[in-house]
């Protein structure tokens, strides 16, 4: 099953969703700002992406600048920050079983479908 973690206000996320819609007809859309992900879900996504938690953070967001910029956070603390402030999570993320991409640029979706 393919899952896209989507923010409708983000143009890259909308473009990735459009590409996915054109190429595949069976996928789940998770509106992660309305239904924030928990720590375990985030750890799972990070594991599938094969990245460090900090690579999932949008560092230009005010929540990051105001609360975490310049601090040396552990992996767990970074994941907890994303769970507390879902807006910090890079987007869109597309997961297809044991493969995943941060779809920036949106065409990266094609790598895993």
Domain map (residue ranges) of the chain: 1-32+91-113, 38-88
The alpha carbon of 107 is separated from its chain's Cα centroid by a whole number of angstroms, namely 15
**Digits of tens for pLDDT over the chain (113 positions)?**
999 999 999 999 999 999 999 998 899 999 999 999 999 999 999 999 999 999 999 999 999 999 999 999 999 999 999 999 999 999 999 999 999 999 999 999 999 98
Q: Which residues are catalytic?
A: 10
Question: So what's the pLDDT on residue 36?
Answer: 96
Question: So what's the pLDDT on residue 25?
Answer: 84
Which CATH superfamily includes the segment(s) 1-32+91-113?
Glutaredoxin (3.40.30.10)
Q: Give the predicted TM-score (pTM) of the model.
A: 0.94
DSSP of 29-84: EEETTTS---HHHHHHHHHHHT--GGGGB-TTSHHHHHHTTT----HHHHHHHHHH
Does the N-terminal peptide bond of residue 105 adopt cis geometry, omega within 30 degrees of 0?
yes
Q: Are 35 and 89 in contact (CB under 8 A)?
A: no
Which residues is 5 bridged to in the sheet? 30, 93
């Amino acid at each position: 099953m393919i899952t896209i973690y989507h923010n409708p206000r983000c143009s890259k996320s909308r473009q990735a969703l459009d590409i996915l819609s054109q190429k595949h007809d069976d996928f789940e859309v998770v509106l992660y700002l309305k239904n924030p992900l928990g720590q375990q879900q985030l750890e799972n996504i990070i594991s599938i992406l094969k990245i460090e938690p900090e690579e999932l953070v949008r560092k230009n967001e005010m929540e990051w600048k105001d609360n975490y910029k310049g601090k040396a956070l552990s992996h767990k603390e970074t994941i907890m920050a994303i769970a507390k402030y879902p807006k910090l999570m890079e987007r869109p993320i597309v997961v297809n079983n044991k493969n995943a991409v941060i779809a920036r640029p949106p065409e990266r979706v094609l790598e895993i479908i």
